[in-house]
A = this chain, B = another copy of it.
């Protein structure tokens, strides 16, 4: 997984545990893709200050994941749900939708994926 995507995922899970100041800066970098210079200008702090804050946030978020492994767990579940959908696709492609079974299971599976 690329680094920005991984950080965005960690932020999605554990971001609420950062301070509101950290969240504000970190979101501009990770989600809005602003440069260090732009963020520094907006926040009235140095470019180096922004850099350090983001590095510290990365470490904090990764620290939570190292302890809780919830992103890892969610990705594993997501992978298995995609397996379910793939099997349903194969049945459908073979012209076999087993009555309402395929549609019923797919509906729930999609709902779970939405939630992840």
Q: Which residues of A contact B (CB under 8 A)?
A: 13-14, 16-17, 64, 67-68, 70, 73, 76-77, 80-81, 83-84, 87-88, 91, 96, 98-99, 101-102, 104-105, 108-109, 111-112, 115-116
Contacts and interface: CB of A to CB of B under 8 A. Distances in A.
Contacts of A76: 115
B70 A70 contact: yes
A85 B102 CA distance: 13
Question: Number of copies of this chain in the oligomer?
Answer: 2
B87 A104 contact: yes
A99 B99 contact: no
Given A87-B108, A96-B98, 13 more contacts: A13-B70, A14-B68, A16-B67, A17-B68, A73-B115, A77-B116, A83-B108, A87-B104, A91-B99, A91-B101, A96-B101, A98-B99, A98-B101
